């Protein structure tokens, strides 16, 4: 009996919700984690070794691809290499309906060449327990304060990753209220993931200053136990006078 196979065509790799383009085929970054053994023998063990397990090491992985200097994902990857901070790596396999995500440090980022092509290679050191899921963290709603607010899309779908909030002219500030009751953590960033501020489900954020015709960008991150981390990029636009 043949059970077929699952193609990886169309798979994506992202860092903090930003897709990394140019990744080579057969280079999906799954860290090779393992649990080593330790000798727990005592004088009572006789001539046969007794063993235990050490802590699980989530491992590391090499990610490489064609260098695309202006790609936002590759820029974020290089920034992660320089900031020495944990970042969320997500791998989406559409044909399997699976999302694999983990936190990791980008410990190396090396430009190079292969067959006369400009390429890059980096090492990601995973930290903590990886998540393999067919679903991402659930968000019930994202609501901005202010009169006459129009969201695009109007309803938040399970796969919505970009939300545009249109505010009326005259609104000088707004708050965001994110409802995600099952979330283990809700955070928002005003610097594209360099730093994060914690939010509480169903409670308003700090006020965000608005100006006519100015686009305000925020990156929302929602984590939920046993589900893949979800990112939503939010653009708040106040109408021009």
Instruction: Indicate whether 124 and 146 sit together in one domain.
Output: no
Q: What percent of the chain has pLDDT over 70?
A: 98
| pLDDT of residue 2 exceeding 70 | no
Distance CA 227, CA 136 (A): 5
Kind of pairing between the strands at 230-238 and 162-167: parallel
Same domain, 22 and 98: yes
Pick the last residue of a domain from 115, 132, 149.
Answer: 132
Final residue before a domain boundary, out of 84, 111, 132: 132
Instruction: Give the chain's length.
Output: 241
Look at residue 40 and tell me if it is in a domain: no
What's the rounded Cα separation, in Å, for the pair 203 and 239? Answer: 25
Are the beta carbons of 63 and 18 closer than 8 angstroms? Answer: no
Q: Which of 77, 99, 132 is the last residue of a domain?
A: 132
Mean pLDDT, residues 198-219 taken together = 94
Q: How many CA atoms lie within 13 A of 190 on its CB side?
A: 11
Same domain, 18 and 116: yes
Tell me what percent of the residues of the chain surpass a pLDDT of 90: 69
Q: Is the pTM of this model over 0.75?
A: no
Q: Do 175 and 231 reside in the same domain of the chain?
A: yes
pLDDT band at 58 (very low <50, low <70, confident <90, very high): very high
Is residue 3 in a domain?
no
Higher-pLDDT residue of 146 and 183 is 183
Round to whole Å and give the CA distance between 186 and 221. 6
* Whether residues 18 and 112 fall in one domain: yes
116 domain-assigned: yes
State whether 217 and 173 are in the same domain. yes
Q: Which two tokens stand for residue 68?
A: 């695309």
26 and 127 part of one domain: yes
pLDDT confidence band for 1 (50 / 70 / 90): very low
Distance between CA 226 and CA 134 in Å, rounded?
10
Give a yes or no: residue 126 inside a domain.
yes
Confidence (pLDDT) at 241: 67
Task: Report CA 172 to chain centroid distance, whole Å.
Answer: 31
Spatial CA neighbour of 124 closest among 88, 152, 177: 88
Q: What is the pLDDT of residue 155?
A: 86
How many domains does the chain fold into? Answer: 2
Q: Are 179 and 201 in contact (CB under 8 A)?
A: yes
Task: Please tell me whether residues 145 and 204 are part of one structural domain.
Answer: yes
Q: Looking at the structure, do residues 119 and 186 belong to the same domain, yes or no?
A: no
- If asked whether residues 150 and 127 sit together in one domain, one would say no
C-alpha to C-alpha distances, 122 to 101, 107, 110, 164, 234, nearest whole angstrom:
17, 7, 6, 33, 29
- What mean pLDDT value characterizes the chain? 91
Q: Is the pLDDT of residue 222 over 80?
A: yes
Torsion sign, CA atoms 75, 110, 24, 87: negative
Q: Is residue 97 assigned to a domain?
A: yes
Q: How far apart are the first and last CA of the chain?
A: 67
In a domain, 78, yes or no: yes
Per residue in 92-148, pLDDT (tens digit) is 887 777 889 999 999 999 999 999 999 999 999 999 999 888 878 899 999 999 878
| Domain that includes residue 68, residue range | 12-34+53-132
Note whether residue 210 is domain-resident: yes
Q: Specify the range with the lowest mean pLDDT, choosing from 136-140, 167-171, 191-195, 227-231.
A: 227-231
- pLDDT at position 240, please? 81
Indicate whether 5 belongs to any domain.
no
Residue 159 and residue 73 share a domain:
no
């Amino acid at each position: 009996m043949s059970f077929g196979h699952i193609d990886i065509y169309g798979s994506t790799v992202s860092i903090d919700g930003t897709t990394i383009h140019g990744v080579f085929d057969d280079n999906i970054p799954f860290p090779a984690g393992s649990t080593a053994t330790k000798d727990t023998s005592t004088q009572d063990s006789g001539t046969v070794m007794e063993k235990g397990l050490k802590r699980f090491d989530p491992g590391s992985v090499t990610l490489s691809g064609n260098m695309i200097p202006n790609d936002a994902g590759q820029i974020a990857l290089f920034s992660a290499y320089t900031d020495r901070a944990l970042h969320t790596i997500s791998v989406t396999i559409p044909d399997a309906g699976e999302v694999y995500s983990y936190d990791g440090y980008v410990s190396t980022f090396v430009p190079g060449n292969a067959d006369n092509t400009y390429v890059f290679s980096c090492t990601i050191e995973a930290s903590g327990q990886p998540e393999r899921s067919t679903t991402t963290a659930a968000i019930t709603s994202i609501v901005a304060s202010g009169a006459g607010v129009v969201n695009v899309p109007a309803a938040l779908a399970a796969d919505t990753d970009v939300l545009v909030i249109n505010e009326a002219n005259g609104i000088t500030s707004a708050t965001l209220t994110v409802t995600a009751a099952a979330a283990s953590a809700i955070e928002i960033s005003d610097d594209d993931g360099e730093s994060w501020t914690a939010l509480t489900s169903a409670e308003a954020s700090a006020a965000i200053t608005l100006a006519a015709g100015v686009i305000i960008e925020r990156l929302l991150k929602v984590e939920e136990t046993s589900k893949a981390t979800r990112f939503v990029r939010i653009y708040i636009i106040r109408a021009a006078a």
